[in-house]
DNA sequence: TTGTATGCGTTATCAA
DNA sequence: TTGATAACGCATACAA
C-alpha cells in the first residue's frame, strides 16, 4: 500500500460507437401515475392512494381490483410527490468524514456499512452515502438540514468524532462509537471496548502469563482509552503490574516502534495486548526481527479481527468486533428514533475473543 | 477472517434516559420556502426561482437582494418539489450485488466506492447505495425503474456481472468491469487487464526468467480470462512456453492449491504471475513451505495491489489498479450520459506496475 | 366506505 | 425583466 503511485487518469480508449443518448432521464418518461391506476380501476385517486398505503377502510373487493390495476400498469408511487406532502423523504444519510474515507478500505468500516445497507434494505428507507469534506463542512450541514433525509448515521474512523453532534437537535442522528467527551444527549452505538480488552487480557492471564505489556491506542480516541482501561482492570484484579504501556496511533509502524520501546526497556515480557491488529502486525515484525517466538516467548492478542489476523504467522488471537451487527444496530436505532419509538441513547454490542495461534 | 463467529446480537445496555423524541422528521419542521424568500425580498416566487437557478435574465440589483433574503432565512430548495416538476431526482444509485457485499471488505472495491462518492460530492448528485439481493431482484428493478434515481452504477465483485444490462435501455447505467459476453450496448469502464498482465509478464521476462507459470483466475470472469490472455500474449511474443497454467478462483486457498499443482508437475519454474494478490498470497505460503526462495528461486508478480502486497515478505511486486479513478470515471461517465453529453461506451483505465521485492 | 377538493414547494408558460 | 398561474403526483380533511 506504500509505493504504487498510479499515473492512471483520464485515459479513455473507445471502442463502440457513442450514440448521443437523446437527453435526460429515461425512466421518468411515461411512468404510470396514481391517476391512471384510478382510471383503470374505475375508482377515485383517493381510493387508490388508500390501497397503496393500505388504509384499513376499504372494501376487499375494490382493493383487489385496484391492486390488479397497479400490477397491470406496473405502477410505483412517485417518491418525490409523496415526500412533498408527507414531509418525509424515506432517506437516511450515511455521513463518512473524508479522513475516514481514505481508510475506507478498513474492512471493519466496510462491514459496518454493509450492515447498515443490509438492514435498511428490509425497510423502505434509502441510504444516501455522502463523504463530508472537512474542508467545508457547511455543505454537509446544508444537505443534512436541507430536508433531504429523515435522519443520519455518522461513522468516523476510529470513532469519537461527534463534530456533528449539535445537529442532533435538528435531525435524528446516530453515531458510531462513543463520543470522546460525554455529549449532551447524542445517540450512539458502540462495541464494548473495555469488556473486550478485559477478555483479551484475562485470556493472557489464563495462559499463565504475568509480564503483560500493552501497546495502547491514542488516548484522545475512545477506543484507545477504553482498551487501555480494560487491560488495566484485568491486570489490577489479578494483582499484576500494569507498568508496561507504550502508546501507538493504531498504525502498523507505530506498533513496531512501540514494541521496540517495550523490548528496549529490558524488563521481562511474556505477553502483549495490542489495542488493534494493525499495531499487532507491527509488533509481529519486530518480534520476528529480534528472534522472539510467538507465542513461545511472547503471547500476543490483538483487537479488531482485521484481515491481518487470520493470515499472520502465527495466526493472531484477537478480539472480534461485530462490525456488521454494529451497522445494523445503528440503522435500527435511527429508524426507531425517526419513527418515534423510544430507544436507549447508548447501545453497546459485545465482542468475542477469537483464539488462534498467537496466544 | 476464518473463525470468529461472533455471538453478538441485540444486546443492548442502556445508560442515558430515553426521552421519546416526539415524532417524525425534525428538519422538515418550519423550513423556509421559496415563497418566504420572495416575500422577504419583495419579489415574486418566479424571480426567486430564477435567482436560485441563476437564470441569465435578472437584474443584478434584485439578484443581490434575493440572495440576501436567501442567506438570512438560510433557505435551501426543497428537493422533492423540484424533483417533482423536473422529473429529475439528482440521485444516482450505486448497486452492489449482495454476493459482492459479502466481500465488501475488498479494499479494491472500497476504493472504487470512495472514488465514486468523491466525484459525486463535487456535483450535485446524491449517491443512493443499495444492496441488491440476488434473491429477489425485482425489488432493485422496481427501485431503479421507479423513478427514484437518474441513473445507476453497478459494481459487482470481480466484474462481468451485467445482469442489469437490460435495464440500460430504460435508465442510464454504467457498469464496472467488462461484461462477460459482449453486451448489446451497455456502458462500462474497466481497467486494462490484458495490458496489465502483459506488463507484469514482460517484467518477469526482463528479469531473465523463461519458465514462467501463471495461476489464472476463473475463466468465466473477464479479469480471469483477460489476465491469462495477457500473460499468453507476452509469452508468445517472447517465444516462451505458455504451458504452465493452473486455475484458481481468486481466493488465497485456491492460489495455494494451484501453486502445489504447478510445483508437482515437476518441471522447472523460475517465475509466477498470479492473476491476483490473494492467490499470490496462497502461492507465497506454499513456496515458503517448500523452502523455495522468492525471488531467488521463483520471482512472483501479482495483480490488484492489495493490502497483502506491501506487507508480504518479501513485499510483492504487483499490478496496481487505479481503483479510485475507476470509481470516479464511472461516476463521470454516468453523469455525462444523464446530461446528454456524448461518451464512449467503453472506457478503459491503465494499470501501473509496482515493483517491490518479489520480482 | 368512497369521492371531492385543496395544498405540498418548485419550475415553466405566458402575459405584462 | 418580472409576475401571475398552471402543472408535477400524491395524501388527506371534509363532504357525501
Tens of pLDDT along B19-38? 333 334 444 457 899 999 99
Predicted confidence at residue B106, as pLDDT, reads 65
Q: How far apart are CA A236 and CA A228, in angstroms?
A: 12
pLDDT tens, position by position, A275-304: 999 999 999 999 999 999 999 999 999 999
**Residue A243, pLDDT above cutoff 80:** yes
Residue-wise pLDDT for B306-319, tens only, equals 878 887 889 999 99
Provide the shortest C-alpha distance from residue A37 to chain B (in Å): 15
- Are A88 and B78 contacting, i.e. CB atoms less than 8 angstroms apart? no
B261 touches strand C (CB under 7 A): no
Q: What is the pLDDT of residue A103?
A: 53
Q: Give the number of other CB atoms < 10 A from CB of residue B145.
A: 18
For residue A132, what are the contacts with CB-CB under 8 A and spacing of at least 6? A95, A96, A97, A98, A139, A140
Closest-CA residue of A relative to B151 is A25
A-B C-beta contacts closer than 8 Å: 306
Second CATH level (architecture) for the domain B3-86: Orthogonal Bundle (1.10)
d(Cα B141, Cα B133) in Å, to the nearest integer? 11
**Which residue is listed with cell 478480539?**
A319
Per the structure, the residues numbered 36 to 65 in protein chain A that have their CB within 7 angstroms of any atom of strand D are 45-46, 49-50, 52-53
Grid-cell match 443584478, residue found = B60
For the segment 78-117 of chain B, residues whose CB is within 7 A of strand D = 81, 84-85
Rounded percentage of chain A residues whose pLDDT exceeds 70: 87
Distance CA B175, CA B334 (A): 9
Q: What angle do CA A315, A262, A352 make, to 5 degrees?
A: 35
Q: Residue A17: its pLDDT value, please?
A: 32
Q: d(Cα A153, Cα A171) in Å, to the nearest integer?
A: 11
Contact B84 A81 (CB under 8 A): yes
Q: What homologous superfamily is domain B91-190+324-349 in, according to CATH?
A: Response regulator (3.40.50.2300)
Q: Which residue has the higher pLDDT, A5 or A296?
A: A296
Closest to B15 measured CA to CA, from A171, A312, A189: A189
- B49 CA – D5 C1', rounded, Å: 15
Residue A20 — pLDDT band, cuts 50, 70, 90? very low
Q: Which nucleotides of D are covered by protein (CB under 7 A)?
A: 1-5, 7-13
C-alpha–C-alpha distance, residues B237 and B324, integer Å: 32
Is the torsion defined by CA of A75, A19, A15, B106 positive or negative?
A: negative
As a whole number, the mean pLDDT across chain A is: 86
A88's CB contacts (< 8 A; 6+ apart) are: A150, B24, B25, B28
The pLDDT value given to residue B100: 62
- B47/C16 CA-to-C1' distance in Å: 15
Comparing C-alpha atoms, which of A247, A301, A238, A234 is closest to residue A274? A301
B193-322 shares the fold of B3-86? no
Q: Quick one: what percent of chain B has pLDDT higher than 90?
A: 65
Q: Which residues pair with A189 in a beta bridge?
A: A176, A347
**Strand-pair category, A346-349 with A352-354:** unpaired
How is chain A split into domains, by residue range?
3-86, 91-190+324-349, 193-322
Q: Give A306 to chain B, closest Cα distance, Å.
A: 7
Q: B47-58: string of b/e by CB count within 10 Å (b at 16+)? A: bbbbbbeeeeee
Q: What's the CA gap between A218 and A255, in Å, rounded?
A: 11
Distance CA A310, CA A305 (A): 8
User: According to the CATH classification, is domain A193-322 in 3.40.50.1000?
Assistant: no
Asked whether residue B83, judged by its CB, lies under 7 Å from any atom of the DNA or RNA strand C, the reply is no
At B2 the pLDDT is 24
- Span CA (B95) to C1' (C16), Å: 50
- The string of DSSP letters for A159-189 reads S---TTGGGGGTS-EEEES--SSPPSS-EEE
Q: What is the pLDDT of residue B24?
A: 40
Of B3, B126, B325, the CB nearest to A128: B126
Task: Mean pLDDT check: name the lowest of B24-38, B70-84, B224-238, B251-265.
Answer: B24-38
Confidence (pTM): 0.84
Do B185 and A19 lie within an 8 Å CB cutoff?
A: yes
Lowest mean pLDDT: which of A19-33, A233-247, B293-307? A19-33
Amino acid at each position: 500500500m506504500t509505493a504504487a503511485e498510479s499515473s492512471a487518469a483520464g485515459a479513455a480508449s473507445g471502442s463502440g460507437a457513442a450514440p448521443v443518448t437523446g437527453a435526460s432521464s429515461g425512466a421518468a418518461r411515461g411512468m404510470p401515475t396514481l391517476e391512471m391506476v384510478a382510471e383503470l380501476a374505475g375508482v377515485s385517486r383517493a381510493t387508490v392512494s388508500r390501497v397503496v398505503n393500505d388504509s384499513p377502510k376499504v372494501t376487499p373487493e375494490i382493493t383487489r381490483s385496484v391492486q390488479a390495476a397497479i400490477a397491470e400498469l406496473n405502477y410505483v408511487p412517485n417518491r418525490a410527490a409523496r415526500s412533498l406532502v408527507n414531509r418525509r423523504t424515506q432517506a437516511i444519510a450515511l455521513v463518512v468524514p473524508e479522513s475516514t474515507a481514505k481508510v475506507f478500505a478498513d474492512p471493519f468500516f466496510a462491514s459496518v456499512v454493509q450492515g447498515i445497507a443490509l438492514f435498511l434494505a428490509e425497510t423502505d428507507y434509502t441510504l444516501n452515502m455522502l463523504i463530508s469534506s472537512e474542508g467545508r463542512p457547511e455543505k454537509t450541514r446544508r444537505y443534512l438540514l436541507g430536508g433531504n433525509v429523515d435522519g443520519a448515521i455518522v461513522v468516523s474512523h476510529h470513532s469519537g468524532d461527534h463534530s456533528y453532534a449539535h445537529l442532533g437537535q435538528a435531525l435524528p442522528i446516530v453515531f458510531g462509537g462513543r463520543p470522546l467527551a460525554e455529549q449532551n444527549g447524542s445517540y450512539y452505538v458502540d462495541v464494548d471496548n473495555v469488556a473486550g480488552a478485559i477478555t483479551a487480557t484475562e485470556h493472557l492471564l489464563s495462559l499463565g502469563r504475568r509480564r503483560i505489556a500493552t501497546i495502547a491506542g491514542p488516548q484522545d480516541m475512545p477506543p484507545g482509552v477504553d482498551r487501555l482501561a480494560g487491560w488495566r482492570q484485568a491486570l489490577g484484579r489479578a494483582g499484576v503490574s500494569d507498568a508496561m504501556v507504550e502508546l501507538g496511533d493504531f498504525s502498523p509502524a507505530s506498533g513496531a516502534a512501540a514494541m521496540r520501546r517495550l523490548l528496549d526497556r529490558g524488563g521481562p515480557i511474556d505477553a502483549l495486548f495490542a489495542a488493534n491488529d494493525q499495531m499487532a502486525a507491527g509488533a509481529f515484525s519486530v518480534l520476528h526481527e529480534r528472534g522472539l517466538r510467538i507465542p513461545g516467548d511472547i503471547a500476543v492478542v490483538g483487537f479488531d479481527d482485521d484481515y491481518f489476523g487470520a493470515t499472520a504467522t502465527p495466526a493472531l488471537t484477537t478480539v472480534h468486533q461485530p462490525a456488521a451487527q454494529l451497522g445494523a444496530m445503528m440503522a435500527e436505532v435511527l429508524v426507531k428514533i425517526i419513527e418515534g419509538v423510544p430507544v436507549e441513547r447508548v447501545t453497546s454490542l459485545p465482542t468475542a475473543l477469537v483464539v488462534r495461534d498467537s496466544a
